[in-house]
Chain A
Amino acid sequence: MPVIVHNDLKITVDDDGFLVNPEDWSETVARVLAAQEGVGELSEDKLDILKFMREYYRKHNFFPIVRFVCKNVHQPRNYVTEQFIDPVKAWKIAGLPNPGETVAAGKEDEDVEGI
């Protein structure tokens, strides 16, 4: 499996770039993953989104509905998409497991041009 090396950190990800061990996640890991995804700096707002997603996944064993993430972090309804372009990227940077094809294809605003 691919390993991303960043200073002293070794981050194991799967072929699609998803964190293999969710407990490896930290804000530093998130910054490294964000750089991999071309998302850039992680602002406080973005970190709030990621933390909410992690907490939601821990409770529900599933990914949150995108627009309800926005509501919970007190932002406009398209906020996640504006910040991360693709919600799947946000899940990835939040250290959530690979959703597989099923969920990823069901999410909104699929970016065909970017494939």
Chain B
Amino acid sequence: MAKFPKPEELSNIDFAPPRKGWMDLPVEFKPGMFCHGSKPKSLEAVGFPNPRDWKPADADWKLPENWKEIIIEGIAERLRKYRSFRLFMDICVRCGACADKCHFFIGTGDPKNMPVLRAELIRSVYRKEFTTAGKILGKMAGARELTLDVLKEWWYYFYQCTECRRCSVFCPYGIDQAEITIIGRELLNLLGLNIEWIAGPVANCYMKGNHLGLEPHTIVGNLEYMLDDIETITGKRIKPTFNRKGAEILFVTPSGDLFADPGTYTAMGYMMLFEELGLDYTWSTYASEGGNFGFFTSNEMAKRLNAKLYAEAKRLGVKYIIGGECGHMWRVIHQYMDTWQGPADFLEVPKSPITGTVFENARSTKMIHIAEFTADLIKNNKLKLDAKRNDHLKVTWHDSCNTARGMGILEEPRYILRNVVNNFFEMPEDTIREKTFCCGSGSGLNASEDTDLRMKGGLPRANAVKFVHDRHGVNMLANICAIDRATLPPLMDYWVPGVKVAGLHELVANALVMKGEKERTTDLRGEPLPGLEQKEEKAS
């Protein structure tokens, strides 16, 4: 493969619009901008249609003969089922407020990455098939026939949207572009047109309980390794439990935290915090995935995977669930789970056993985010924290799209950060909180074959990090999302070398003063703690 372009080449973006109208420009599959197609074994594992070997760049996608009927009927069914979809098909006035808000448009200059135009790809077919004006006036009314080229265009661009919803913040009608992409992907899945980076994890999660396909003894083994490290650092041996019936709380986190750095440091952080609290909790090796790649496939698949969490909570007889640092997990729980499977009446409304706080926001789902849980602990002065232990870090906060825009977790992580680090610098206000920029690789696009797309889409986020890196010397990008922890390190290495990535609870555990611990000389990564050398000099 050709050498990957340098940052100065990749940031040279052509924003000149093409001379032809968008309907007259057929899709061009550019290498590095799309993912591998789904493999048959991944679709077979969950009983999805049309499992076969296919390559997105091939002319023949091996579709069933009646593929067009399947799609049109699929649209009709979803128009009946989802009022949101029907509304979003009808109400856009194409004002363009969203056009330059998408990280993929900013990073590529491709007009079909303007959220309005990406939605038009599907709206144009909707008009043709489902509106009188479209049927009669055709192209004049913005309508067009569904052809194989149009289908390919859908595939290319609906897997160039990370469902981050930044555009929806600026839409005067509140159109949620993610909902359109979600339906677009659902329709494509009716023909077996997924990407393997989503289909593989879905199959793994369905069969083995987590996206990576970690088996029970591997989950336990990996955590044991982390416990060895915790013992080296703190002198304390922690003994968590697995699949324990009668525990008060079930803890579920993305499986990425159990395998890949820096997520493993976050997992160490969870265990150290829970140990210090004496929390009555259990891990599960069955419901061993907080994330839900089914959500990037179809609502039905998301529902099937989400069911595991609650089935396991019921089986173990826990009172409620605490979820770890995951992004889209929280969009599923916060906005969809309750209508799919809720209310989870067999569980109890989450109440912190340490502070007595009742989490009214989770009255129906019975599941709280660990940032809510920890912020409440600090607010009630239940943790002894020494923020100086993080003095070697200058931290900025990346609001993960799904927890920030999807759920409103904006203040809790900031409150925690201010208590566990002394050097916290915000990125520019148009790039954080509800207006946060996506990592560029969310919603299952974190493959290696689409690195070009990921680096381009991540440019706006990286650019804001660069601002605080240059101005304040920021060297750590903290977040509460496992996809972020996987995608931001290569993004930083490419655009802003010198900035590392950490989960919030790694920083919490660095600062956490644990009962009976030995004097710490390193942080969770084994890096020497700041100021310790001076202390030793004074002592001598």
A interface residues, Cβ below 8 angstroms from B: 59-63, 65-68, 71, 77, 100-110, 112-115
When distances are taken between beta carbons in the complex, the residues of chain A under 8 Å from B221 are 60
B196 and A108 form a contact (CB under 8 A): no
Distance of A67 Cα from B211 Cα, bound (Å): 21
- Selected contact of A102 from candidates B212, B262, B264, CB within 8 Å: B212
B212, A61: Cβ atoms closer than 8 Å? no
B457 to chain A, nearest CB (A): 14
**Taking the complex as formed, is B214 at the interface, i.e. its CB lies under 8 A from any CB of chain A?**
yes
In the complex the two chains form, is A105's CB within 8 Å of B486's CB?
yes
Q: Chain A residues near B360 (CB, 8 Å)?
A: none
Q: Are A115 and B451 in contact, with the CB atoms below 8 A?
A: yes
A54 nearest CB across to chain B (Å): 15
Cross-chain contact A110 with B526 (CB below 8 angstroms): no
Residues of B within 8 A of A105 (CB): 197, 446-448, 486
Q: Are A115 and B201 CB-contacts (below 8 A) given A62-B215, A62-B218, A100-B196?
A: no
A23 vs B350: C-alpha distance in the bound complex, in angstroms? 51
B56 CB to closest chain A CB, in angstroms? 13
Q: Output the nearest chain B residue to A77 by Cβ-Cβ distance.
A: B526
Q: Cβ of A108 and Cβ of B204 under 8 Å apart? A: no
17 additional contacts, CB 8 Å, given A101-B449, A102-B211?
A59-B217, A60-B221, A62-B213, A62-B214, A62-B215, A67-B261, A71-B228, A102-B197, A102-B201, A102-B212, A103-B259, A104-B448, A107-B260, A108-B262, A114-B4, A115-B1, A115-B451
Would you give the shortest CB distance from B194 to chain A, in whole angstroms? Answer: 13
Question: Which residues of B482-499 have CB atoms within 8 Å of chain A's CB atoms?
Answer: 486, 489-490, 493-494
Contacts of B303 in A (CB 8 A): none
B455 on interface, CB distance cutoff 8 Å: yes
* A68 proximity list for chain B (CB < 8 A): 222, 225
Smallest CB gap from B217: residue in A: A60
Nearest-neighbor residue (CB-CB) of A61 within chain B = B215
**Closest residue on chain A to residue B214 by CB atoms:** A62
User: Which of A102, A104, A108 is within 8 Å of B261, CB to CB?
Assistant: A108
Chain A proximity of B495: nearest CB distance (Å) = 10
Whether B36 lies near A101 (C-beta < 8 A) is: yes
Whether B256 sits at the interface, judged by CB under 8 Å, is yes
Supply 24 A–B pairs (Cβ within 8 Å), ascending by A: A60-B218, A62-B212, A62-B214, A62-B215, A65-B225, A65-B260, A65-B264, A71-B225, A101-B200, A101-B447, A102-B197, A102-B200, A102-B211, A103-B212, A105-B446, A105-B448, A106-B256, A106-B260, A108-B260, A108-B262, A110-B489, A110-B490, A112-B451, A112-B490
Instruction: Give CA–CA (A105, B491) in the complex, Å.
Output: 12
Q: What residues on A are CB-neighbors of B489 within 8 Å?
A: 108-110
Bound together, the chains give a CA A103 to CA B4 distance in angstroms of 21
Kindly list the 5 A-B residue pairs having the minimum CB-CB distance in the complex, ordered from nearest.
A110-B490, A106-B260, A60-B218, A108-B261, A101-B447
| Interface pair B260/A112, CB less than 8 Å apart | no
User: What CA separation (Å) do A60 and B215 show in the bound complex?
Assistant: 7
Answer whether residue B230 sits at the interface, using C-beta atoms and an 8 A cutoff. Answer: no
Q: Inside 8 A of B486's CB, which chain A residues have their CB?
A: 105-106
Q: Complex Cα distance A107/B263, Å? A: 10
Which chain B residues border A63 with CB–CB below 8 Å? 259
CB distance from A56 to the nearest CB of B (A): 9
The answer, yes or no, to whether B43 is at the interface (CB within 8 Å) is no
- Nearest Cβ distance between residue A66 and chain B, in whole angstroms? 7
In the bound complex, do residue A101 and residue B218 qualify as a contact, i.e. CB atoms below 8 Å apart? Answer: no
A62 to B225, CA, bound (A): 15
A110 and B493 in contact (CB under 8 A), knowing A60-B215, A62-B212, A105-B446? yes
B477 on interface, CB distance cutoff 8 Å: no
| B204 lies within 8 A of A102 (CB) | yes
> Whole-angstrom distance between the alpha carbons of A108 and B35 in the complex?
20
Instruction: Tell me whether B259 and A65 are in contact (CB under 8 A).
Output: yes
Known contacts A110-B448, A110-B490; A61 and B218 CB within 8 A of each other? yes
**Residues in B neighbouring A71, C-beta threshold 8 A:** 225, 228
Given the complex of chains A and B, what is the CA–CA distance between A77 and B228 in angstroms? Answer: 14
C-alpha gap A59/B446 in the complex (Å): 28
Closest to B211 in A: A102
Q: Kindly provide the distance from the CB of B195 to the nearest chain A CB, expressed in whole angstroms.
A: 9
Across the interface, which residues of B come within 8 angstroms of A65, CB to CB? 222, 225, 259-261, 264
Shortest beta-carbon distance, B216 to chain A, in Å?
10
- Encoded as 1 (CB less than 8 Å from any A CB) or 0, chain B from 257 to 298 comes to 001111010000000000000000000000000000000000
Q: Which residues of A contact B264 (CB under 8 A)?
A: 65, 67
Q: CB distance A101 to B196 under 8 Å?
A: yes
Residue of A66, A67, A68, A102 with most partner-chain B CB within 10 A: A102
Contact A66–B215 (Cβ < 8 Å): no
Is the beta-carbon distance between B197 and A112 smaller than 8 angstroms?
no
Give the residues in chain A near B215, CB-CB below 8 Å.
60-62
Which of A63, A65, A66, A105 is packed against the most chain B CB atoms within 10 Å? A105
Chain B window 386-422, contacts with chain A (Cβ cutoff 8 Å), 1 for yes, 0 for no? 0000000000000000000000000000000000000
Q: Which of B429-460 contact A (CB under 8 A)?
A: 446-449, 451, 455
Which residue on A lies nearest to B486, using beta carbons? A106
Q: How far is the CB of A107 from chain B (nearest CB, A)?
A: 6
Contact with A along B195-212 (1 / 0, CB 8 A): 011001100100000011
Report chain A residues within 8 Å CB of B449.
101
The complex places the Cα of A59 from the Cα of B224 at a distance, in Å, of: 15
Q: In the complex, which residues of chain B have a beta carbon less than 8 angstroms from the beta carbon of A108?
A: 260-262, 489
- Give min CB distance, B37 to chain A, whole Å: 11
